[in-house]
Amino acid sequence: MADTGHATTTEQTDVGSYFVANYPPFSLWTPEAVETDAKPALAQPPADVPLGLYLHIPFCRKRCHFCYFRVYTDKNASEVADYLDVVGREWELYATQPAIAGRALRFIYFGGGTPSFLSVRQLKSLVDRLSAVTPWTDAEEITFECEPGTLTEPKLSQIRDMGITRLSLGVEHFDDHVLELNGRAHRSAEVFRAYDFAQSLHFPQVNIDLIAGMLGDTDEKWHAAVAQTIELSPDSVTIYQMELPYNTTISSDLLKGTGQFTETVANWSTKRRWVREAFDALEAAGYTVGSAYTAVKNPETTRFLYRDQLWQGADLAPLGVSSFGHINGVHMQNQDSWGPYAAAVRRGEIPLSRAFRPTEEERLIRELVLQLKRGSVRPAYFSGKYGVDIVDRFGPALASLRTDGYLMACDADQVALTREGLLRVDSLLPRFFLPEHTDLRYT
């Protein structure tokens, strides 16, 4: 079946976005809405929702061939310091906005790029500056993404002292040939060393990321990677299915036909099977599957507050080049290149490039499709918040899921996907989109 508005979900992994990160599609966001919607939203008192902070650290040792984020691999120490200074100034600007001023941070997320690319001194300086503006003591969750090869014991100690509650290791795979083919900077030996360091420091939660379907992967290699993950016994495991958005090196090669890569990305049925087999193995080892991408060792103590609060309409302040945010009902994104981003901040301006204010119905759909990624939703949540019976409102979409074998339950208590539905959930979500959004390019 074709995934309307996204990359196809037929056998071949074609170029295009598959993962549904937001709704309506990003392609609807406009520069004009910065003035008409985003700036007024920042100038208003805050809604009664939690506030989070996302910090984009856009530096990497290498650019992975499947990466579609704004990253830089050619910046020297002076340029990195300059970027961190701009990020500090940006947060100081946000702290003057009525929508942000004086609010406690419930969750913080260091993403990238590679946050662990920063030195111990740079990390300490950045955290001291940001937390001087808004204390982090009330934050329930602070996540820090890491590339294993950038971690040393002193750096991990500093990260632990920052109050990090979840260390997320971008392992992706344990096979060195697969890592090399896909442009990863680290190798398996660095994973084991970093993991041992992290365990010795007793982080509250250590997460391992895996990607199913990378260049050069096979049944044998994938099963070995899953087995190795289980042997390490992290608190949580996140598994993504490889996709090829337009601005990756692999996508460019496919579109231009340059033949740079002789290996191919696994097809969709193989990727779904590999994730299914991984989930089965993790469940046999005592883990609980909590979403289309996550399994946790102890659901009572291991949470994903960043994910769950965002999927319920929390505010998120975006810091750094190209960062996305959501404040007072308005989606917004920063300038997506270094020069314009830094110049705006130095002029004393919030460095936004585009924005979008969804309607009440679009907010409802956004929360529904995102929360479905957990495998089930409670109709009572939506009737209480939006006054809408989702079983009635989305009857045709739900009926199509049932017909195709992807719906396990649909009543007043819950709407729940089957495991097969969960494994392909991103391709199913456009069934809930408004008609005018189903044929749009997602990004």
Average pLDDT of the segment spanning 239-249: 92
Q: At residue 167, what are phi and psi to the nearest 5 degrees?
A: -95, 120
Return the pLDDT at 344.
98
Residue 192 has φ and ψ, to the nearest 5°, of -65, -40
Q: What value does the mean pLDDT take over residues 242-262?
A: 88
* pLDDT at residue 257, as a whole number: 85
pLDDT at 10: 59
Kindly tell me if the per-residue pLDDT of 40 is higher than 80: yes
Q: What is the overall mean pLDDT for the chain?
A: 94
Lowest mean pLDDT among 16-20, 104-108, 393-397: 16-20
pLDDT of residue 269: 96
Give the separation between CA 433 and CA 125, rounded to whole angstroms: 44
- Tell which wins on pLDDT, 69 or 28: 28
Q: What is the pLDDT of residues 288-322, one digit of tens each?
A: 999 999 999 999 999 999 999 999 999 999 999 99
Quick: pLDDT tens for 323-368.
Answer: 999 999 999 999 999 999 999 999 999 999 999 999 999 999 999 9
The pLDDT of residue 441 is above 90: no
Over 70: is that where the pLDDT of 214 sits?
Answer: yes
| 68-74: average pLDDT | 89
108-159 pLDDT tens trace? 999 999 999 999 999 999 999 999 999 888 899 999 999 999 999 999 999 9
Give pLDDT, residue 4: 36
Q: Residue range 52-56: average pLDDT?
A: 97
Q: Which two tokens stand for residue 275?
A: 């994730």
* pLDDT confidence of residue 11: 84
User: What band does 429 get if pLDDT is binned at 50, 70 and 90?
Assistant: very high
Decide if pLDDT at 6 tops 90: no
* Mean of pLDDT values over 209-221: 97
Cα–Cα distances (Å) from 349 to 134, 346, 352, 353, 414, in that order, read: 19, 7, 8, 11, 45
With vertex at residue 208, the alpha carbon angle to CA 222 and CA 84, rounded to the nearest 5 degrees, is: 130
Task: Calculate mean pLDDT across residues 154-174.
Answer: 95
**Given a cut of 80, is residue 435 above it in pLDDT?**
yes
What is the structure's pLDDT at 138? Answer: 85
Mean pLDDT to the nearest integer, 34-45: 98
Which helix (H) or strand (E) covers residue 232, if one does? helix 219-232
Q: What is the pLDDT of residue 111?
A: 96
CATH 2.40.50.140 fits 1-24+366-443, yes or no: no
Please report, for the chain, the start and end positions of each structural domain, with discontinuous segments joined by +.
1-24+366-443, 26-309
What's phi and psi for 40, nearest 5 deg? Answer: -60, -35
Mean pLDDT within 379-401: 98
Global pTM? 0.95
Q: What's the whole-number mean pLDDT along residues 218-224?
A: 98
Out of 2.30.40.10, 3.90.1150.200, 3.80.30.20, 3.40.50.11440, the CATH code matching 26-309 is 3.80.30.20
User: What's the pLDDT band for 272 if we cut at 50, 70, 90?
Assistant: very high
Q: Assess whether pLDDT exceeds 90 at residue 263.
A: no
| pLDDT exceeds cutoff 90 at 233 | yes
Cβ neighbours around 6 below 10 Å, total? 24
Burial status of residue 372 (CB atoms within 10 A of its CB: 0-12, 13-18, 19 or more):
buried
The pLDDT value given to residue 3: 36
